Amino acid sequence: MVSAINKSDLALNGKDFFALYSREKTVAAYTLGCKVNAYDTQATLDILSGAGFLVAPFDSEADVYIINTCTVTSLSDSKSRQMLKKAKKTNPNALIVCMGCYAQTNPEKILDMGVDIVLGNKNRKDILKNIYDAAHEVRVNAVTNIDNDREFEEIEIESYGDRSRAFIKIEEGCDQFCTYCIIPFARGRVRSRKLASIVAQAEKLAKDGYKEVVLTGINLSWYGKGTGDKLEDVILALNDIDGLERIRIGSIEPGIFTEEFLSTISRAEKLCDHFHISLQSGSDTVLERMHRGYTAKQYKDEIDNIRNVYKNAGITTDIMTGFPGETEDEFSQTYEFIKEVGFSRLHVFPYSIREGTKAAKMDNQIPPKVKKERAAILTSLGQQLENDFTKKNIGIEQSVLYELIANDTVEGYTTNYIRVHAKGQNDDLYKVLTTQLTQIKNNICYGEINK
Ligand code: SF4
């Protein structure tokens, strides 16, 4: 527990109070789930380090632990609980904060686990006040209903781990209500960050040396609802920022890649030719039961639109296997469709029942064994497609942003999202360098930096 508070210091306000009480206090964080969660963790840590906390590694003995949880599958729930237990075990006297999607949907369950603060997906700015309250031996349940929220909660980040790529959250929530998905209940409705705020955040990151920003949200293709701004305006505005060399669109839903949208964004030469567009299934009947709002053909038309503009684009996607009622035939349609699109990478997940969703109540739930077998088949197809895409790029000169070094080998991503290993040195880190892709060996792509 954070050390007792001296009553005479209660007159101190906000930052002064915490500067006094967090001196030499440490905070450690663990993030589960998506890039939006990673952004929220970083923003929360920035508030605490601004108040004097030192950020420590998660496996060290810290005074405060933050676990930013995920609830997208039942496995995410169980991993979230595991990390809460791990933090408590590492330092039984620490103050434990549980935030994020699992916290938002199960606050009581989490408090019963002996967690000190349950924060959910709102009021993250209150973290200092919550710690103050919990330091007074009060368990804090700060989770509130977010269903009617329509304003984007502005939280900024100061820095982002290494100095290569930073994520900027520009949208929160989802209005789609796919029948399998718990996320609209955990994240609320669509709220969009204002264009000016995104530009200010990106300018700050570029000034601090970040070369790439990744635009993230829960359902990015709905960006602008409530503010009237458009995703293409964000991309064009960021393209004008000095020092920023790359803009990447994070995971996005289909429906936005019209010829008109692509013609506009193609004016932004810093935009990466990599698009991660959730597919989930290649069978129209499954897509309908999922309430995804598109057919396989409509999805393919959007990919064709992209490839008409970005000839060598990396197209990656998420696929779910074993959605209720998925027949062998429907699964085969998905398999064939994935081959037809020729994705450059797949993220494959077996369907997971989420209580409170329509799909949880559907007949014909698929046995776990079948879901897993189908996932394994698609994972292997994904590996094959990834190799095919990389092979297509061998011999081509690409720009690579190097973000990691080990034993004189630097690693980074091309604009179209191929991970490249090249002989290099510290000086090559956090730079975008022209690199000739030379070979693929054991599923690893190698290149030579042009000097
Ligand atoms: S689009 Fe569907 S899958 Fe994606 S967050 Fe919204 S409800 Fe969930």
Which atom of ligand 1 approaches the CA of 182 most closely? 8
What span, in angstroms and rounded, lies between the C-alpha atoms of 72 and 102? 8
- Is there an atom of ligand 1 within 6 Å of 178 CB? yes
Distance between terminal CA atoms of the chain? 54
Round the average pLDDT of the chain to a whole number and report it. Answer: 92
Which atom of ligand 1 approaches the CA of 218 most closely? 5
Q: Is the pLDDT of residue 18 over 70?
A: no
Longest dimension (CA), the chain: 72
- Is there an atom of ligand 1 within 6 Å of 183 CB? yes
Q: Is the pLDDT of residue 9 over 60?
A: no
- Is there an atom of ligand 1 within 6 Å of 172 CB? no
* Position 7 confidence tier, pLDDT thresholds 50, 70, 90: very low
Q: What is the DSSP letter of 151?
A: S
Indicate the burial class of 450 (C-beta count within 10 angstroms; 0-12, 13-18, 19 or more).
exposed
- Is there an atom of ligand 1 within 6 Å of 123 CB? no
Residue 266: CB atoms within 10 Å: 14
Burial call 214-226: b when 16+ CB within 10 Å, e when fewer: bbbbbbbbbbbbb
User: Range with the lowest mean pLDDT among 18-22, 77-81, 224-228, 312-316?
Assistant: 18-22
Which atom of ligand 1 approaches the CA of 174 most closely? 6
Q: What is the DSSP letter of 125?
A: G
Model confidence over 180-197: pLDDT tens digits? Answer: 999 999 999 999 999 999
* Position 325 confidence tier, pLDDT thresholds 50, 70, 90: very high
Pick from 212, 232, 208: which is nearest to 220 by CA?
A: 232
Q: Is the pLDDT of residue 154 over 90?
A: no
What span, in angstroms and rounded, lies between the C-alpha atoms of 299 and 280? 11
Which residue's CA is the closest to the ligand 1 atom numbered 4? Answer: 219
- How far away, in angstroms, is 312 Cα from ligand 1 center? 28
What span, in angstroms and rounded, lies between the C-alpha atoms of 241 and 325? 49
Which residue's CA is the closest to the ligand 1 atom numbered 8? Answer: 181
Q: Is the pLDDT of residue 1 over 70?
A: no
CA 183 from centroid of its chain's CA atoms: 13
- How far away, in angstroms, is 173 Cα from ligand 1 center? 9
* Position 2 confidence tier, pLDDT thresholds 50, 70, 90: very low
- How far away, in angstroms, is 290 Cα from ligand 1 center? 10
As a whole number, mean pLDDT of residues 128-135 equals 83
- How far away, in angstroms, is 174 Cα from ligand 1 center? 6
- Is there an atom of ligand 1 within 6 Å of 116 CB? no
Which atom of ligand 1 approaches the CA of 187 most closely? 5
What span, in angstroms and rounded, lies between the C-alpha atoms of 12 and 295? 59
SS3 of 196-258: HHHHHHHHHHHHCCCCEEEEECCCHHHCCCCCCCCHHHHHHHHHCCCCCCEEEECCECCCCCC
> In order of start, what are the domains of the chain with their CATH numbers?
7-141 (3.40.50.2300), 165-390 (3.80.30.20), 397-449 (2.40.50.140)
Which of 35, 104, 178 has most ligand 1 atoms within 8 Å of CB, for mutation?
A: 178
Model confidence over 402-419: pLDDT tens digits? Answer: 999 999 999 999 999 999
- Is there an atom of ligand 1 within 6 Å of 197 CB? no
Q: What pLDDT was estimated at residue 356?
A: 93
Pairing of strands 54-55, 26-31: parallel
- Is there an atom of ligand 1 within 6 Å of 63 CB? no
- Is there an atom of ligand 1 within 6 Å of 181 CB? yes
- Is there an atom of ligand 1 within 6 Å of 302 CB? no
Q: Is the pLDDT of residue 399 over 70?
A: yes
- Is there an atom of ligand 1 within 6 Å of 251 CB? no
